[in-house]
């Protein structure tokens, strides 16, 4: 059975982009078809200015939402990255295989470092090196497939390069993973700036739909979405990014194809109205389940504890093998 691994960063409240681009497939497909692990990658949240209490709260919330979207601990492994030491253990080894040039070419590093500098802050070294930690997250489990949104493609490519290089230098140790993306909504765009990704740490709050937004807030954000000049409803990401984003969100929530849906609408207003209702209905069961799970924190803690135990057992042999292969003396 193939092995699948993916994760979510507790840097903000989870968004519709996270759900449509990644999490949805984890519960609908991956947990049924693969030996799958899903992780709250909390160490990644420490790469930018952070508040410790907020990271803890968001980690708990992210784990609860993963379960609320339908991840079933009987079918897959759900855990928190920092509970499994193997990730950090392997990361250092991979830092000895990846290069400084590779790290500096990462688009997310360039963008986030530039934003940090513009704010007058200093850039944490971990912002530069975290793609290697992500490679360790993936490679520790012998992962075949990494289901992610479009923005993570470059990081998975780096993971492949590092795995191939390690295997060539030190002997075959790692599986070389491949990326999978959803057919629609692999990159959900910000409703107020449809040329930028809808991100959970965006400053432009009205352009971001959060999974726990009240229905009225969802409606308001979608009805106020920036659309394009012109009035014809067409799916063309380059020329009509705003309308195309709405068509993709609608298609992802209701099923169907954005090109076909474009033919159904004559006005932006009617498209927005239907998209808003589709998103509200799409989020309703997740919000309901989240509420139930919040009332039972011991259950969520138990899932994470057992998940970490299982993950540790799965990761340790391969990480130990990597330590031996690279030339480190076994502890005995
Ligand atoms: N807008 C999006 N559309 C489609 N997929 C998306 N993903 C994120 N945003 C979108 C996918 O969700 C998974 C988890 O993402 P993450 O937690 O690693 O990163 P993030 O949500 O992009 O959060 P950041 O980096 O902390 O903040 P922002 O977004 O503000 O830069 C991934 O599979 C990702 O592709």
Question: Which pLDDT tens digit goes with each residue over 127-163?
Answer: 999 999 999 999 999 999 999 999 999 999 999 999 9
What pLDDT shows up at residue 256? 87
**pLDDT digits over 10-65, tens only?**
999 999 999 999 999 999 999 999 999 999 999 999 999 899 999 999 999 999 99
Residues of the chain above pLDDT 90, percent = 89
* Residue 93 tokens, joined: 């080894």
Closest atom of ligand 1 to CA, residue 186: 4
**pLDDT digits over 289-318, tens only?**
999 999 999 999 999 999 999 999 999 999
Residues of the chain above pLDDT 70, percent = 99
Distance from Cα 213 to the centre of ligand 1, integer Å: 17
Closest atom of ligand 1 to CA, residue 14: 21
Q: In a 3-state reduction of DSSP, which class is residue 163?
A: helix
Q: Mean pLDDT, to the nearest integer, of 83-99?
A: 98
Q: Mean pLDDT, to the nearest integer, of 229-233?
A: 83
**pLDDT digits over 177-204, tens only?**
999 999 999 999 999 999 999 998 766 5
The CA–CA distances, whole Å, from 189 to 27, 206, 211, 282, 286 equal: 22, 12, 15, 18, 21
What pLDDT shows up at residue 165? 98
Q: How confident is the model at residue 205 (pLDDT cuts 50, 70, 90)?
A: confident
Angle subtended at Cα 194 by Cα 233 and Cα 227, rounded to the nearest 5 degrees: 35
Query: 147: closest CA among 278, 67, 28?
Result: 28
Tell me which of 200, 221, 291, 310 is the catalytic residue: 200
Q: Give yes or no: 291 in active site.
A: no
Of all protein residues, the one whose alpha carbon is nearest to atom 2 of ligand 1 is 17
Q: Give yes or no: 112 in active site.
A: yes
The CA–CA distances, whole Å, from 62 to 1, 57, 101, 154, 285 equal: 27, 9, 33, 24, 16
Distance from Cα 200 to the centre of ligand 1, integer Å: 7
Q: Which residues form the pocket of ligand 1, taking CB atoms under 6 Å from any ligand atom?
A: 8-9, 11, 17-18, 21-22, 148-149, 151-152, 186-188, 197-202
Q: Whole-angstrom Cα distance, residue 129 to residue 59?
A: 21
What pLDDT shows up at residue 161? 98
Tell me which of 9, 110, 112, 220 is the catalytic residue: 112
Q: Is the pLDDT at 258 greater than 90, yes or no? A: yes
pTM above 0.85, yes or no: yes
Q: How far is CA 142 from the centre of its chain?
A: 19
Closest atom of ligand 1 to CA, residue 189: 1
Q: Phi/psi zone of residue 60: left (φ > 0), alpha (ψ -120 to 50 degrees), beta?
A: alpha
Which of 16, 22, 210, 252 gets mutated to test ligand 1 (max ligand atoms within 8 A of its CB)? 22
Whether the CA torsion 205, 124, 91, 165 is positive or negative: it is positive
Closest atom of ligand 1 to CA, residue 9: 17
What pLDDT shows up at residue 203? 63
302 and 241 Cβ atoms separated by less than 8 Å: no
Burial letters for 41-66: b for 16+ Cβ neighbours within 10 Å, e otherwise?
Answer: bbbbbbbbeeeeeebeebbbbbbbbb
Q: Give yes or no: 221 in active site.
A: no
235 and 217 Cβ atoms separated by less than 8 Å: no
Q: Whole-angstrom Cα distance, residue 311 to residue 249?
A: 33
Task: Please return the burial class of 102, using the count of CB atoms within 10 Å of its CB with bins 0-12, 13-18 and 19+.
Answer: middle
Which of 13, 17, 204 gets mutated to test ligand 1 (max ligand atoms within 8 A of its CB)? 17
Distance from Cα 18 to the centre of ligand 1, integer Å: 5
Q: Is the pLDDT at 324 greater than 70, yes or no? A: yes
Q: What are phi and psi of 8, to 5 degrees?
A: -140, 140
Terminal-residue alpha carbon distance, the chain: 33
Which of 200, 204, 211, 244 gets mutated to test ligand 1 (max ligand atoms within 8 A of its CB)? 200
Q: Phi/psi zone of residue 256: left (φ > 0), alpha (ψ -120 to 50 degrees), beta?
A: left
Distance from Cα 43 to the centre of ligand 1, integer Å: 15
Distance from Cα 227 to the centre of ligand 1, integer Å: 23
Q: Is the pLDDT at 1 greater than 70, yes or no? A: yes
Distance from Cα 15 to the centre of ligand 1, integer Å: 8
Query: 160: closest CA among 147, 148, 143?
Result: 143
Q: How confident is the model at residue 229 (pLDDT cuts 50, 70, 90)?
A: confident
Q: Is the pLDDT at 231 greater than 90, yes or no? A: no
Please state, rounded to an integer, the average pLDDT across all residues of the chain: 95
Q: How confident is the model at residue 271 (pLDDT cuts 50, 70, 90)?
A: very high
Q: Whole-angstrom Cα distance, residue 62 to residue 289?
A: 13
**pLDDT digits over 26-38, tens only?**
999 999 999 999 9
Domains and CATH numbers, the chain: 3-181+296-326 (3.40.50.620), 205-292 (1.10.240.10)
Tell me which of 2, 9, 110, 197 is the catalytic residue: 197
Distance from Cα 279 to the centre of ligand 1, integer Å: 18
Q: Whole-angstrom Cα distance, residue 223 to residue 230?
A: 17
């Amino acid at each position: 059975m193939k092995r699948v691994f993916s994760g979510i960063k507790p840097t903000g409240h989870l968004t519709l982009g996270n759900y449509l681009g990644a999490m949805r497939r984890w519960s609908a497909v991956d947990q049924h078809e693969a030996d799958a692990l899903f992780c709250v990658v909390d160490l990644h949240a420490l790469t930018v200015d952070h508040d410790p209490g907020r990271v803890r709260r968001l980690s708990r919330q992210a784990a609860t939402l993963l379960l609320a979207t339908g991840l079933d601990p009987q079918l897959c492994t759900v855990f928190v990255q920092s509970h499994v030491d193997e990730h950090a253990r392997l990361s250092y080894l991979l830092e000895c295989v990846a290069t400084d040039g590779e790290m500096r070419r990462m688009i997310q590093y360039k963008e986030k470092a530039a934003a940090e500098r513009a704010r007058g802050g200093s850039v944490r070294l971990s912002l530069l090196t975290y793609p290697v930690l992500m490679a360790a997250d993936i490679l520790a489990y012998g992962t075949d497939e990494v289901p992610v949104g479009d923005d993570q493609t470059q990081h998975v490519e780096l993971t492949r390069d590092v795995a191939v290089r390690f295997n060539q230098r030190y002997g075959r140790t790692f599986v070389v993973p491949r990326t999978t993306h959803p057919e629609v909504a692999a990159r959900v765009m910000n409703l107020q700036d449809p040329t930028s990704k809808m991100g959970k740490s965006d400053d432009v709050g009205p352009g971001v739909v959060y999974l726990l937004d009240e229905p009225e807030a969802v409606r308001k954000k979608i009805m106020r979405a920036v659309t394009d000049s012109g009035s014809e409803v067409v799916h063309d990401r380059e020329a009509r990014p705003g309308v195309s984003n709405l068509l993709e969100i609608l298609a992802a929530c209701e099923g169907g194809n954005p090109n076909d849906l474009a033919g159904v609408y004559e006005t932006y207003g009617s498209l927005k109205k239907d998209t808003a209702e589709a998103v509200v209905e799409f989020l309703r069961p997740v919000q309901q389940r989240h509420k139930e799970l919040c009332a039972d924190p011991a259950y969520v803690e138990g899932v994470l504890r057992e998940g970490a135990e299982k993950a540790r057992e799965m990761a340790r042999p391969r990480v130990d093998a990597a330590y031996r292969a690279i030339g480190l003396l076994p502890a005995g």
